[in-house]
Amino acid sequence: MFYLIGLGLGDATDITVKGLRAVKSCSRVYLEAYTSVLTGGKEALEEFYGRELIVADRDLVEQQADQILKDAHVTDVAFLVVGDPFGATTHSDLVLRAVNAGIPYKVIHNASIMNAVGCCGLQLYRFGETVSLVFWTDTWRPESFYDRICKNREAGQHTLCLLDIKVKEQSEENMMRGKKIYEPPRFMTVAQAADQLVQIVQRRRAEGETLGLTEDTLCVGLARLGADDQVMRVATLQQLVSCDLGGPLHSLVITGQLHPLEVDMLQLSAEADVMKNLRVLDGSTYWS
């Protein structure tokens, strides 16, 4: 059997009982280590699970998937994913490869940012398309995520923004020279994400574009969701540019039309006086 097992959001103890039993039955256990991270790291997981873990980086998962699936038709193999197994499309590819190879598989689900984001007080069914914000470089500054956020807001929907993670990445120079030298890990913060969005807003305003998002848009910054030290900060986009929510992982929510119950929940984590610009139209609450 090939198992895809979700580990949840916080630490080693967030694995389900079903997932832990599967891990203990497997001859090989891989830990996917590039789409997300857990607090404590690989050693803490190994101590709690009582099993040695094989770190599966992007190259192994995307270029050498057959190595992961090797012998899974005659022995149990586990692939561990922070959050839920289907939080990344790469993991769907593993399932398809297993099916094509005649290997039975089983998915053991767990909590992920996609549903845990509801802890901020925004109702899950009022979210639109999830977007990813990537680190800009000197020569690459994509803005497509801004347009998708605006599309969600036009429909009155909130937007969950997943922030970039750089783990075991090479510089362009080392990649061109074929040197296996990797850059230090980097995790985008809420402040960095807000700053990139503000720069887009300012540029498009200067070009005379009608804005679907401004510096005054109400947002929610999230850090280390599911951990004991998780942080939520409700503030305007501009205010979040200067916020410090501590260590990774961070996520950002851009609000759309707000239900009165959502307003009440957001006030629990709001910056002082940040909710004063709310107004009610036709029985619905909006951020002006």
| pLDDT value for 35 | 72
Q: What is the pLDDT of residues 184-225, one digit of tens each?
A: 788 999 999 999 999 999 999 999 999 999 999 999 999 999
Q: Are residues 104 and 145 in the same domain?
A: no
Q: Which parts are annotated binding residues for S-adenosyl-L-methionine?
A: 9, 84, 87, 112-113, 163, 225, 250
Distance, first Cα to last Cα, the chain? 54
Chosen domain end from 92, 111, 130: 111
Structural domain of residue 231, as residue ranges?
A: 114-287
Q: Which parts are annotated binding residues?
A: 9, 84, 87, 112-113, 163, 225, 250
- pLDDT exceeds cutoff 70 at 261: yes
Angle between helices 144-154 and 190-206 (to 10 degrees): 80
Q: Are residues 36 and 173 in the same domain?
A: no
Q: Are residues 107 and 173 in the same domain?
A: no
Query: What domain count does the chain have?
Result: 2
Q: Are residues 104 and 171 in the same domain?
A: no
**The residue count for the chain:** 288
Q: What is the pLDDT of residues 222-240, one digit of tens each?
A: 999 988 899 999 999 999 9
Chosen domain end from 95, 111, 127: 111
Backbone angles phi, psi at 253, to 5 degrees: -115, 130
- pLDDT exceeds cutoff 90 at 163: yes
Q: How far apart are the C-alpha atoms of 3 and 72, rounded to whole Å? A: 9
- pLDDT exceeds cutoff 80 at 36: no
| pLDDT value for 175 | 59
- pLDDT exceeds cutoff 90 at 99: yes
Q: Are residues 207 and 71 in the same domain?
A: no
Question: Could you tell me the sign of the dihedral formed by the alpha carbons of 65, 7, 266, 190, in that order?
Answer: negative
- pLDDT exceeds cutoff 80 at 13: yes
Q: Are residues 66 and 163 in the same domain?
A: no
- pLDDT exceeds cutoff 80 at 170: no
| pLDDT value for 11 | 85
- Residue 284: pLDDT band with limits 50, 70, 90: low
- Residue 135: pLDDT band with limits 50, 70, 90: very high
Q: Are residues 187 and 55 in the same domain?
A: no
Q: Are residues 119 and 247 in the same domain?
A: yes
Q: In a 3-state reduction of DSSP, which class is residue 105?
A: strand
- Residue 40: pLDDT band with limits 50, 70, 90: confident
| pLDDT value for 65 | 83
Question: Could you tell me the sign of the dihedral formed by the alpha carbons of 144, 258, 234, 229, in that order?
Answer: negative
Least confident residue range of 6-15, 87-96, 174-183: 174-183
CATH of the domain at 57: 3.40.1010.10
